[in-house]
Amino acid sequence: MGNVDSMSVRDCSEPALVEVQLMCKRFGSLGFCLVIAAGPTGLSAATAKARADSPFTEHQESHWAFQPVTTPAVPDAPRGNAIDAFVAERLGERGIAPGPRADKVTLIRRATFDLHGLPPTPEEVRAFLADESPSAFARAVDRLLSSPRYGERWARHWLDLARYAESEGFKSDETRPNAWRYRDYVIDSLNADKPYDRFVLEQIAGDELWPGSAAARIGTGFNRHYADESNAAILVQRRQEILLDITDTVGAVFLGLTYGCAKCHDHKFDPILQADYYRLQAFFTNVATDDEIHLMSPEQREERRRRQAEWELATRDIRAQMDALLDEKRAEAYQTQVNRRSPETQEAFGKPESERTMYERLLFQQHMWQMRYHNDAKLANALVDEAKERFRALEAQLAEFDHLKPEELPVGIGIREMGAEAPKTHILSLANYAAPLNEVEPGFLTLLDPEPATYSPALGGRSSGRRTALAKWLANPVNPLPARVMVNRLWHYHFGQGIVRTPSDFGLMGERPTHPQLLDWLASEFMRHGWSLKHLHRLIMLSETYRQTSSFREDAAEADPFNRLLWRFPPQRLEGEVIRDSMLSVAGRLNNQVGGPSVYPALPEGAAEPRGGWDVPEQQHEQDRRSVYVFVRRNSRYPMLESFDMPDTHESCARRATTTTAPQALALLNSEHTLGWARGLARRVLEEAGADRNRQIQAGFQLAYSRAPDAWEKDTALTFLDTQSKIIAGRAAAGEALYVPDTFPEAMSLEEAAAVVDFCHMLLNSNEFVYMN
């Protein structure tokens, strides 16, 4: 029925009339219904009353996504695996024949981009072409899946969903120093093929289920990646906005539902009550930040405690004198912070700790770093005269004992709880924290499980156990949504479109599955094989559907113009991260170091340094790490990645936009970075080919495209190199600076070497380089 202001119903049957009346009752805020006439009676009064009393319509209850996952029988097919059988059946309904298999160069290039986010090396291409066995492609897929490059490539997809960033967002956009450990956790989990159900459990309740595992606790960082207005004056509002963000994200990522609509009212389309929204939120109402997840072994922690105690004893008198000088300033700063808060917050902060409610303790804990105003250096600057001189002298004395201090404690960030007791959760009128309505207990979707969730305190009473109950429900094979949603996400990332083309909206307003039986078969296969993502990758990539050519066929396009039924492999433009990494790779500059703190590659000329800083390392090799390791500042995405549609990390992103804009062309044509990568590629070409132009063209095509040029391409490139050398000679005579490789053969002139750079620059700017076919 959609967004309508009025609806006219003529000659309805009674069931249809009752359905319209229910829609008007449920969706009355959209407009009004005008019922002109009803048709013949077809529904008993008792049935009509039962339907009218139900919170959901029959249409909502029977929606495909809420039905149990089944294991459909695999249709007969002339070729391929079960995937091909389901796809061929749908193609046959439209009279479309499946496409032929792509050539081997296309396949190895497609698979390498898909699993590694990089082009294959010439050695990898040669090895694959030399392997003539029927299992050659299967072995190539297994090799790609076993590499650490796989986790780096596919972590980027999950980080988009998790709205991963390393800063707070909003005005100040402060850095979260250890957020990168969650990124490494995702990479490690994918490389280890951690079962997806375990992956879900860790991210929702890893701290409760595996308190001794640092990785599981860091996994809870999924719900720590909310944007946060750290300087908010009304802490209750700030807290509620965080809970709204967590609720929306969990609903979208794991259930594939747009929960957000239900924060203000019952969902207008999906069977999600407003109470369901706050029942889900109640699982998280007790969470607090945990930004000090210790990563040391027990032995390391003991040694650190020993050294810390030694340092504290040696410096006790010095630190006491420094504290005495700052105590008054600290008190003033603390009171200034308190005075800026709302009256309710001031009242809570004015209470002794023992008298604060659980909710007040949560607010206090979340904001304590700011209330402490712990930046002693800033406070010391406010001292004057003798006090300031005395503090500086004591500071110098303290520094003499630095050799005793233990190394900085390695920590990760996530979430935890402050006790078994949780604040009450209320339905909020229009999501307004100041307008609570009925109280609710933690629970799931009423349609699937209407009873309140059962849970018990965890960690000896240090945690409520609520999130464990939610995590187990999300990882339960009986739940019809999580397996379907994740299988569809993998399909989406492989083919550029999901079986359901709205990956985070399986509701009534989302698109219907193009291959519903295939979706269920894959979901059941996923769970039967231990929730293994790598098993799904193999199934998909070894199908004939995946190995099809991407060539256009006019007859097929007439029957299926948008290729929904997959009569060819969909060509896809590479993401900005893959384009950057590929250019670094073919230039011979890619730093393949795995994991660790994020890096800050140099910003383009003229770009302003973001608020929060952008600390570019001196060593170029450090800047040339993979894009998954580039620092993600919420308010200032790295310019090249932003121009190629990197998502806004303030919210979960299920599918990236693919735009074609002028800034993209300018980034590849005019950027000093791209020119530098072209110089690197030219250096590799000349190292391999020397001054021989024919070999230069051959080497350039092989490095950039994994293939040899055809006759026309070769002649065109030869003409370009000859003409461009002459043009560059004229520019050089006019005093223009030339872009040349670091080294080039003595037999070549400066102008000829610069022409090779321009040739390589052209290769990097071509559609063939930035598209996966």
Coil/strand/helix, residue 137: helix
For residue 371, count CB atoms less than 10 angstroms from its CB and return exposed for 0-12, middle for 13-18, buried for 19 or more: middle
Which tokens is 278 given? 């706050």
State the pLDDT at residue 47.
43
State the pLDDT at residue 739.
86
Distance, in Å, from the CA atom of 595 to the CA atom of 601, rounded to the nearest integer, reads 16
Q: Residue 718: pLDDT above 90?
A: yes
Q: What type of residue sits at position 116?
A: H
What would the mean pLDDT of 554-564 be, rounded to a whole number? Answer: 96
Q: Residue 107: pLDDT above 80?
A: yes
State the pLDDT at residue 30.
32
Distance, in Å, from the CA atom of 483 to the CA atom of 535, rounded to the nearest integer, reads 14
Coil/strand/helix, residue 609: coil
The gap from C-alpha 348 to its chain's centroid, in whole angstroms, comes to 37
What would the mean pLDDT of 389-409 be, rounded to a whole number? Answer: 89
Helix, strand and coil percent figures for the chain, each rounded to 5: 55, 5, 40
State the pLDDT at residue 589.
97
- Phi-psi region for residue 612, left (φ > 0), alpha (ψ -120 to 50) or beta? left
Mean pLDDT of the chain: 89
Distance, in Å, from the CA atom of 376 to the CA atom of 160, rounded to the nearest integer, reads 37
State the pLDDT at residue 20.
37
Q: Residue 34: pLDDT above 60?
A: no
Distance, in Å, from the CA atom of 487 to the CA atom of 582, rounded to the nearest integer, reads 27
Distance, in Å, from the CA atom of 574 to the CA atom of 576, rounded to the nearest integer, reads 7
State the pLDDT at residue 355.
79
Lowest mean pLDDT among 53-62, 149-158, 410-419: 53-62
Residue holding tokens 């009674």? 14
**Torsions phi, psi of 572, nearest 5?**
-135, 135
Query: Residue 625 forms beta bridges with which residues?
Result: 591
Residue 664's contacts (CB-CB under 8 Å, 6 or more residues apart) are: 643, 644
Higher pLDDT, 764 or 19: 764
Q: At what angle are helices 482-495 and 148-161 packed, to 10 degrees?
A: 120
Which tokens is 154 given? 């596919």
Q: How many CA atoms lie within 13 Å of 164's alpha carbon, on the beta-carbon side?
A: 30
Distance, in Å, from the CA atom of 123 to the CA atom of 125, rounded to the nearest integer, reads 5
What do you get for the CA distance between the two ends of the chain, in Å?
39
Distance, in Å, from the CA atom of 408 to the CA atom of 406, rounded to the nearest integer, reads 6
Q: List pLDDT tens digits, range 239-296.
A: 999 999 999 999 999 999 999 999 999 999 999 999 999 999 999 999 999 998 988 8
Give the global pTM: 0.89
Sign of the torsion angle spanned by Cα atoms 618, 621, 623, 628: negative
H helices of 734-766, in order, are 750-764
Say if strands 771-772 and 572-573 run parallel, antiparallel, or are unpaired: antiparallel
Query: Residue 309 forms beta bridges with which residues?
Result: none
Comparing CA positions, the residue from 290, 74, 314 lying closest to residue 179 is 290
Which tokens is 379 given? 């406070």
